[in-house]
Amino acid sequence: MKCERYRFDGSKPCDLRKLPCDSKADRVEKAEILTRTESNLKEMASLHDALYAEGREGVIFVLQALDAAGKDSTVKHVMGGLNPQGVVVHSFKQPTSEELQHDFLWRVNKALPPRGSVAIFNRSYYEDVLVVQLHDLQKSYQMARRVLEEDKKKFFRKRYRQIRDYEEYLYDNSYRVVKIFLHLSKEEQKKRFLERIEKPSKNWKFSAADLRERALFDKYQDLYQEVINETASEYSPWYVLPADQKWYTRYLVSEIVVKTLKSCHPAYPRLSEEAQAALAQCKKQLKDD
């Protein structure tokens, strides 16, 4: 599987600058990849059907990236293959004032899907160690002095630990959390921003604030690398995917979804002998009707 080389589970360090943003290194052919994506989408649908029927395990895909890396389009194209009944998409925006009155995982817990479902988090609690850390937003939070007066490094080290613990907690409670970082190059981001400005149908996707964040591109790369290394684990791995070509990103995401759903070994519930006998009785009744 192509996605394997982009998987980080804590056993090896992730060096973002050495990882590709495009598909060249994988020497793939676009036409073949498109065909394979289609077949993965079909496989995903049938695996998801059994997962939903069984209702034993919940699966959460966390999508993280800088602006214009393709989070929205990944949700649309790849997850569109799943049965909407068992899919929840949740976009994490700037916290509301009510959310800020609580711990940072409060809103995440509220967004957890029931077991048997697949949730896609478009951004997530990782923003609480990314944008928050980069802009020192925690300084303006209404929290006890003993918390705010702590050394900044310590504050975020604790958050990394809380995230690791939370993901382990979810795993132990029959959830799987798989994190995906869409690794976009600075040049491709520029191209996509220009397109958003030039195409009226894409204007709504652009905001001047996006340029302020772009100015911090390198700082974000460093921080993402730290966050990935701090939170990659066997039970909750990160995938760092090349994101400059959307067709290839979509393919890799479809591989990850298939692999993750397979690892849940979903199987349709089997009826007990008693229930099967009752079904046979119903069948006979209907036929004689």
Enumerate binding residues for ligand AMP (CB under 6 A). Answer: 92-95, 123, 127-128, 131-132, 137
**Gap between the Cα atoms of 114 and 87, Å rounded:** 10
Q: Which is nearer to ligand AMP, 83 or 221 (CB)?
A: 221
Q: Residue 65 carries which side chain, given as an amino acid letter?
A: A
CB-wise, 57 or 67, nearer to Mg ion?
Answer: 67
Q: Cβ closer to ligand AMP: 129 or 232?
A: 129
CA nearest 9: which of 182, 169, 240, 248? 240
By a kind-dependent CB cut-off of 5 to 8 A, residue 116 interacts, out of Mg ion, ligand AMP, none, with none
The rounded distance, in Å, linking the Cα atoms of 289 and 285 is: 6
- Residue closest to Mg ion when measured from CB atoms: 67
| Sequence-distant (≥ 6) Cβ neighbours of residue 71 within 8 angstroms | 63, 64, 65, 122, 123, 182
**CB of residue 44 to ligand AMP, shortest distance in Å:** 24
How near is the Cβ of 226 to Mg ion at its closest, in Å?
22
**Which residue type is seen at 196?**
R
Rounded least distance, CB 100 to ligand AMP, Å: 9
- Select the residue whose beta carbon is closest to ligand AMP and give its number: 127
Residue whose CB is less far from Mg ion, 67 or 255: 67
Least CB distance to ligand AMP at residue 154 (A): 19
The whole-angstrom separation of Cα 72 and Cα 248 is: 15
Pairing of strands 58-65, 87-91: unpaired
Using CA atoms of 145, 147, 149, 153 in order, give the dihedral in degrees to the nearest 10: -170
Nearest approach, Cβ of 224 to ligand AMP (angstroms)?
A: 13
| Rounded least distance, CB 127 to ligand AMP, Å | 3
Taking the least distance from each CB to Mg ion, the nearer of 56 and 214 is 214
What count of Cα atoms within 13 Å lies in the side-chain half-sphere of residue 281?
Answer: 6
Pair type for strands 175-183 and 58-65:
parallel
> Is 188 strand, coil or helix?
helix
Q: Which is nearer to Mg ion, 54 or 210 (CB)?
A: 210
Q: Which residues in this chain contact Mg ion in the complex, by CB under 5 A? A: 67
Phi-psi region of 121 (alpha: psi -120 to 50; beta: other; left: phi over 0): beta
- Considering CB distances under 5 to 8 angstroms, the limit depending on partner class, which of ligand AMP, Mg ion, none binds residue 88? none
